[in-house]
Chains A and B, each alone.
Chain A
């Protein structure tokens, strides 16, 4: 994926003297420079902006009532000018549903990652910083959770929390309570890798002199964890969280596809596909567009995450 150019020494030799004396670049500038060179990451970022523009800008054009408007005389219409993505089994416009479904899918991806990151940092930091019994206990639980394939854990958790949260109003819109639930479930089933990364970072960072210095000046443990060590391990966390968004969107799609996720009438890309499964032949547009949107989102987030890894955390690169 990386785009190496000619080796650096030749170039420096070609430079004029005053160019050599430009002030050294800051860490951020260096990271930005590495990121910019990663063409696919730039491509991913642009596509993501477009997708967000589609999901949130599209809402300005098409009202939500239109997305839920059923007209049974227009059942399963093929894509046309009036309905560019066609219509579904009860005559709702798929374009409008994909816009509002996209909002939910993207929001679920982002918020689930917040849950995941908070859990992962807390557990990883506590285990890595304090060590001892707490470390063994937390790491055994982490290992136990990692031993069950994610999809099974998702299904079991979806069943466990199923139907406990009522619908709620937010920004003048009614959300199915299952949206909040899915965020929670995805967060609860995906923090394990991040916890391991954070723990490893803490294990090595806590041996540094600056931690000793902080402790010597009487800094509290909490301040050392969150203000001294955590900022130093931010790079792998950012990379992992970025890729986590893609994973969360996929998880939402899988679980909604199985009918255990977000419940209609709230649309998501995942549950739009669920009902489409039976119309493989009769109405391919019903599954094609949401599927394509999920693929595009996940793909561009993966590109972005790859670029961020090269830019922020070049050491962690596998090869």
Chain B
């Protein structure tokens, strides 16, 4: 098993290189970060050139990529524009853990910017994931046990609607219902934007209250896919021989359903959870924008808009690494849960 994990990790390296090359090439036309640096007044031509040299934007794309990847402290760069490269570079490159500094927030390290926002996103997404899994288990198991009942048909149709729902539509609908209409009807209503009320401050209660609507929107969308999946794996497991054996042994219904069936049905569910978890890091770009949630998705949007390559690359590479690592973890956990699966080393 150790060899298998090791081999998978090694395979991840060329994959990450390909990803970084594709992304870096796509970043080349993101807009000119220097043009907007002087605020409303465009920078003077001389300043413009100087800034571009300082940021390394005057170099051809492959040099920029190389500096991003392995740093430039081994090379000398031409800072004053006299054509003589004399100043030693200071960047250490992604491979040595230096993601560079933000162009928009001058000089702030990328990792620092990301780590400021990461907890906000994780808070939102982990809460949503927990709601999704619990709700999906409940609905999925129920529909599987009562297959073709009226409630099953109703739920399956409802899930199809949830599955087809664009996240912004359900977000707007829930905001309208729980904030606007509830307020109009004199009921207690929920806040729609931000993370806390600035007048009260960032208390746990405030944050929890502001989380309700975004978590609800994210959950309702993904919940549908999970439930459909759990329903179909449950149905498959319930028709197995060992379930009939368990029933004929005289075990109680609960034991059969929750111990024998659900345990086996939950195996494939591990896969979708494992594949979904790394995406939580990136947050839901659209959801965070609608609810003005200060997380990674909004960070990404803000910095893409201003051509801040180091930050955008940092976020995307972090997600790519997470996706690869979680794929390996999922496969390992799967093999651990189901002894029938063996990976060749």
Residue pair B15, A253 in contact (C-beta under 8 Å) = no
Residue pair A147, B26 in contact (C-beta under 8 Å) = no
- Given A277-B290, A284-B176, A294-B18 contact (CB < 8 Å): no
User: At the interface, yes or no: A291 with Cβ under 8 Å from chain B?
Assistant: yes
Residue pair A147, B166 in contact (C-beta under 8 Å) = no
1/0 per residue, CB under 8 A from B, across A34-65: the answer is 00000010000000000000000000000000
Of all chain A residues, the one with the shortest Cβ separation from B307 is A159
**B contact residues around A298 at 8 Å (CB):** 164-166
Residue pair A144, B15 in contact (C-beta under 8 Å) = yes
Instruction: Tell which of B82-90, B102-110, B122-130, B319-327 binds the partner.
Output: B319-327
Instruction: Tell which of A13-21, A74-82, A109-117, A150-158 binds the partner.
Output: A150-158
Residue pair A302, B290 in contact (C-beta under 8 Å) = no
Residue pair A273, B168 in contact (C-beta under 8 Å) = yes
Tell me how far the C-beta of A299 lies from the nearest C-beta in chain B, rounded to whole angstroms: 4
Tell me the bound Cα distance from A148 to B282 in angstroms.
10
Residue pair B172, A280 in contact (C-beta under 8 Å) = yes
Residue pair B166, A302 in contact (C-beta under 8 Å) = no
Q: Please give the number of chain B residues whose Cβ is less than 8 angstroms from any Cβ of chain A in the complex.
A: 50
User: At the interface, yes or no: A230 with Cβ under 8 Å from chain B?
Assistant: no
User: At the interface, yes or no: A295 with Cβ under 8 Å from chain B?
Assistant: yes
Tell me how far the C-beta of A1 lies from the nearest C-beta in chain B, rounded to whole angstroms: 6
Tell me the bound Cα distance from A157 to B25 in angstroms.
10
User: At the interface, yes or no: B169 with Cβ under 8 Å from chain A?
Assistant: yes
User: At the interface, yes or no: A170 with Cβ under 8 Å from chain B?
Assistant: no
**B contact residues around A250 at 8 Å (CB):** 166
Tell me the bound Cα distance from A140 to B179 in angstroms.
47
Tell me how far the C-beta of B141 lies from the nearest C-beta in chain A, rounded to whole angstroms: 14
Residue pair B304, A254 in contact (C-beta under 8 Å) = no
Tell me the bound Cα distance from A284 to B169 in angstroms.
11
User: At the interface, yes or no: A245 with Cβ under 8 Å from chain B?
Assistant: no
In the complex, the number of residue pairs spanning A and B with C-beta atoms less than 8 Å apart equals: 124
Choice from A277, A280, A295 contacting B166 with Cβ under 8 Å: A295
Residue pair A147, B324 in contact (C-beta under 8 Å) = yes
Residue pair B161, A295 in contact (C-beta under 8 Å) = yes
Residue pair A147, B19 in contact (C-beta under 8 Å) = yes
Residue pair B282, A302 in contact (C-beta under 8 Å) = no
Tell me how far the C-beta of A220 lies from the nearest C-beta in chain B, rounded to whole angstroms: 32
Tell me the bound Cα distance from A149 to B172 in angstroms.
23
Choice from B29, B168, B192, B282 contacting A161 with Cβ under 8 Å: B29
Choice from B161, B286, B320 contacting A254 with Cβ under 8 Å: B286
Choice from A159, A160, A287, A303 contacting B172 with Cβ under 8 Å: A287
Tell me the bound Cα distance from A298 to B162 in angstroms.
11
- Given A140-B18, A254-B286, A273-B168, A156-B235 contact (CB < 8 Å): no
**B contact residues around A160 at 8 Å (CB):** 26-30
Residue pair B319, A149 in contact (C-beta under 8 Å) = yes
**B contact residues around A292 at 8 Å (CB):** 169
Residue pair B172, A258 in contact (C-beta under 8 Å) = no
User: At the interface, yes or no: B156 with Cβ under 8 Å from chain A?
Assistant: yes
- Given A160-B30, A295-B164, A302-B160, A149-B169 contact (CB < 8 Å): no
Which of A246, A253, A276 counts the most chain B CB atoms within 10 A? Answer: A253
Tell me the bound Cα distance from A127 to B285 in angstroms.
33
**B contact residues around A159 at 8 Å (CB):** 26, 29-31, 304
**B contact residues around A291 at 8 Å (CB):** 166, 168-169, 172-173
**A contact residues around B172 at 8 Å (CB):** 273, 276-277, 280, 287-288, 291
Residue pair A280, B233 in contact (C-beta under 8 Å) = no
Residue pair B166, A294 in contact (C-beta under 8 Å) = yes
User: At the interface, yes or no: B120 with Cβ under 8 Å from chain A?
Assistant: no
Tell me how far the C-beta of B88 lies from the nearest C-beta in chain A, rounded to whole angstroms: 32
Tell me how far the C-beta of B303 lies from the nearest C-beta in chain A, rounded to whole angstroms: 11
Within 8 A of B (CB), among A92-144: 140-141, 143-144
User: At the interface, yes or no: A281 with Cβ under 8 Å from chain B?
Assistant: yes
1/0 per residue, CB under 8 A from A, across B34-52: the answer is 0000000000000000000
- Given A144-B19, A151-B286, A277-B172, A156-B304 contact (CB < 8 Å): yes
User: At the interface, yes or no: A191 with Cβ under 8 Å from chain B?
Assistant: no
Tell me how far the C-beta of A298 lies from the nearest C-beta in chain B, rounded to whole angstroms: 4
User: At the interface, yes or no: A257 with Cβ under 8 Å from chain B?
Assistant: yes
1/0 per residue, CB under 8 A from B, across A281-312: the answer is 10010011001101100110011000000000
Footprint of B on A, CB under 8 Å? 1, 40, 140-141, 143-145, 147-149, 151-152, 155-157, 159-162, 246, 250, 253-254, 257-258, 273, 276-277, 280-281, 284, 287-288, 291-292, 294-295, 298-299, 302-303, 318-319
Q: Would you list 20 pairs from A and B whose C-beta atoms are within 8 A, ordered by A residue? A: A40-B160, A141-B18, A145-B22, A147-B324, A148-B319, A149-B279, A149-B282, A149-B319, A156-B23, A159-B304, A160-B26, A160-B29, A162-B31, A254-B166, A258-B286, A273-B168, A287-B172, A295-B166, A319-B233, A319-B235
Footprint of A on B, CB under 8 Å? 14-15, 18-19, 22-23, 26-31, 156-157, 160-161, 163-169, 172-173, 175-176, 179-180, 192, 229, 232-233, 235-236, 279, 282, 285-286, 289-290, 300-301, 304, 312, 316, 319-320, 323-324
* 5 A-B pairs with least C-beta separation: A319-B232, A291-B169, A299-B164, A298-B164, A144-B18
